[in-house]
Amino acid sequence: MDRRGFIKTCTAVAAASLASPSLFINSLKAQELEFKAYKKAILLKKDGTSLKPEDVDPGKQYIFFYPHRATPCILANLGKEVPSTEVKLSDGTTYRWPGGVGPEKSIVAYCAICPHQMSHPTPEFSFINYYPENIPSKIVKRGGVIQCCAHLSVFDPAKGGEVIDGPAPQPLTAIVLRYEGGKLYAVGTLGKELYEDFFDVFKPDLRKLYRSTRKAKKLVDKCEVTEVEEYAQEVIRC
Amino acid sequence: MPRKSSGVSRRRVLAGGALALALSGMNFVVSKNTSRLLGAPRGRRVVVVGGGYGGVTAAKYVKKENPDAEVILIEKNQLFVSCPLSNLYLVGLINYGQLCFPYNRLHTKYGVKVINDFVTDIDLPKRRVYLSSGYIEYDYLILSPGIEYDFYEYPFYEEASWFYPGAFRPGSEHLYLKRLLEEFEGENVVFTVPKMPYRCPPAPYERAALMLSYIRENGLKAHMYFIDANEYPPVLREGFMKAYNDFYRGMATYITGATIKEIDIASKTIKTDKGDVRFDFGSIIPPMRAPKFLEEIGLIYDDEKWVRVDPMTFETKVRNVFVIGDSCESYLPKSGYAANSQAKVVARIVADRIRGKEPEGELIQHGVCYAMVNLRSAIMVEVEYKYNVKTRKVKKILREDNTWKVSTAKRYHEWARGLWRDMFF
């Protein structure tokens, strides 16, 4: 982490500590390894009002774009308290994922770019999806997972996005959420980011969607949350 | 002497062509070029031979895992052309251009030196790879040269494959086979499958299904004679057999467990131990083997056809010499995806050894293959071997989805796009 990033991180962590001392401790631990602060962005419903935890249906999956205008994230309510956990990378390093947020501590968010070969939701298809308990994965025969159907990587959203099955070499990048005054915010990422490669690989597609790479890369301070089924023409599950 | 060490440059067509013929067993005598192309290696030079799925992935991932490594990729073609998805090209579902990728980003983004030349010899004791333009010394050697058609044991396939390409090697065979298919107006189509092992086990069965779909879509009054050296499709048997029965009943005769004895191009007849078949057009897939030069350098022995490697690390009997992809005898079926996965295993081992350590944790080989059963729907198979380096235990997973779906065909396209992203971006 460079000096600028470190200061940004400290600022974010200090602000977070006012809301939750436990988050402060967790964040400090995370900061040593992989936490990266971005603009604090409020999560909004389609009508522009703030998204409340009770708006996040445990039987559905949602998408928003953070920290850049073009980088998709999956939002899910796991329907149970999700405690903080240690996430291990293949090189043996670890970081502490702070767990779910909201009154039930059940809401989580992850970058929706598969760390295997970068499949991600587009307006046409969504190959990587959250499988709620009522829609179990046919691969691991259970719900409560995030799964990419291109090459069958499966991730555990209750454990910081760690890899359960398949070829992904690392966990999903976690989006760090905060719950303040009944509202949900995204404040940064945790884990290895793929944004540099994402913007490089998908440059032509992003130009079509956002007119320029610069616009696609713009950092956001508010995020509209939509059901994935509304965003993508076809949600492909397996 | 142009050193093609700073990216892709022109190959020497004449010299390279002659040497390639020599390597193809044509008994040309070509003296080795003994010019040293690069300085002496300093313990971190990795030479990768073959710019297919295995070689490209290995070259990129060694650099990604250990940027200090000096990685050199040697490939005879100027452009990568994918065999995966090429059956879809044959029936017009995708364009040829979608299968083609240049090698330049490996150099510009990852710092891999790409040398566009032919390998004429490898001296394992001296750790040298000879090219038409000179030799390169290595500390680590990763060989991923794919397959060649086995015309040594089955010479009668050679002429047949000129006229009716097997199209299991990337490039011009596919272009020509597609043209033959589009110009075809006759009655009898022949399609032959060699005995396992061969490159991409589901591919012949996918091609048969797609060609039958094409015949029907285009209103051709043709019948396919599908001569299979195997008793059944070696993978996705249930899905393929059900598809043949449901979609193509009466359009094809499936002759299984058949040994081809002779192919007479003049009379367009294939003679098998189960009877003769007359044909007007076809795709004749010859039996395959690892390239002969692997035998000449001592990595294939005892009249075998594939390189024996440690099935979990892909190291040969020579330390720091690895063979990946279709050339080696491995647990995963021969396929581009498997080569991509094996290459990552080897890249990790090599990157760690350069640092003076051995890999820890798990080495994972993963294979996913899709196959179309008609112009819209596909089936798929997944196989995985997880090797725990410490306990030396292997965990295997095998999953087949034999129920054809349109959504599986869409996943097939994303599967290929992901692979290409992984290799070239």
Q: From first to last of its 425 residues, what are the pLDDT tens digits of chain B?
A: 333 443 434 433 333 443 444 444 333 445 688 899 999 999 999 999 999 999 999 999 999 999 999 999 999 999 999 999 999 999 999 999 999 999 999 999 999 999 999 999 999 999 999 999 999 999 999 999 999 999 999 999 999 999 999 999 998 999 999 999 999 999 999 999 999 999 999 999 999 999 999 999 999 999 999 999 999 999 999 999 999 999 999 999 999 999 999 999 999 999 999 999 999 999 999 999 999 999 999 999 999 999 999 999 999 999 999 999 999 999 999 999 999 999 999 999 999 999 999 988 889 999 999 999 999 999 999 999 999 999 999 999 999 999 999 999 999 999 999 999 999 99
Q: Which of chain B's residues have a Cβ under 8 Å away from the Cβ of A201?
A: 421, 425
Domain membership of residue A25 (yes or no) is: no
Residues 6+ away with beta carbon under 8 Å from B135: B32, B33, B34, B35, B36, B37, B123, B128, B129
CATH number, domain at B229? 3.50.50.60
Domain membership of residue B419 (yes or no) is: no
B316 plus B251 within the same structural domain: no
- Provide the number of structural domains found in chain B: 2
Closest CB to B422 among A117, A149, A237 = A117
**Structural domain containing residue B349:** 13-146+290-360
Domain membership of residue B24 (yes or no) is: yes
- Provide the number of structural domains found in chain A: 1
CB contact under 8 A, B418 and A234: no
CATH number, domain at A87? 2.102.10.10
**Structural domain containing residue A200:** 39-235
Structure token pair of residue B22? 């020599």
Question: Rounded to two decimals, what is the model's pTM?
Answer: 0.90
SS3 content of chain A, % helix, strand, coil (to 5): 25, 30, 45
B111 plus B164 within the same structural domain: no
How far is Cα B325 from Cα B336, in angstroms, rounded to an integer? 7
* Interchain contact A151–B (C-beta under 8 A): yes
Candidates B113, B111, B46, B115; CA nearest to B77 is: B115
CB contact under 8 A, A117 and B418: yes
Q: Which contacts qualify for A163-166: CB closer than 8 Å, 24 or more apart?
A: A164/A140, A165/A139, A165/A140, A165/B397, A166/A116, A166/A139, A166/B366, A166/B384
Domain membership of residue B373 (yes or no) is: no
* Interchain contact A167–B (C-beta under 8 A): yes
B317 plus B246 within the same structural domain: no
A/B interface, count of CB pairs below 8 Å: 56
Task: Give the gap in angstroms from C-alpha A236 to the nearest C-alpha of chain B.
Answer: 6
Domain membership of residue B398 (yes or no) is: no
Domain membership of residue A30 (yes or no) is: no
CB contact under 8 A, A166 and B414: no
Domain membership of residue A31 (yes or no) is: no
**Considering B253, B287, B321, which residue would you say is the last residue of a domain?**
B287
Candidates B134, B141, B170; CA nearest to B38 is: B134
Question: How much is the ipTM here?
Answer: 0.88
* Interchain contact A1–B (C-beta under 8 A): no
Chain B residue with minimum CA distance to A236: B407
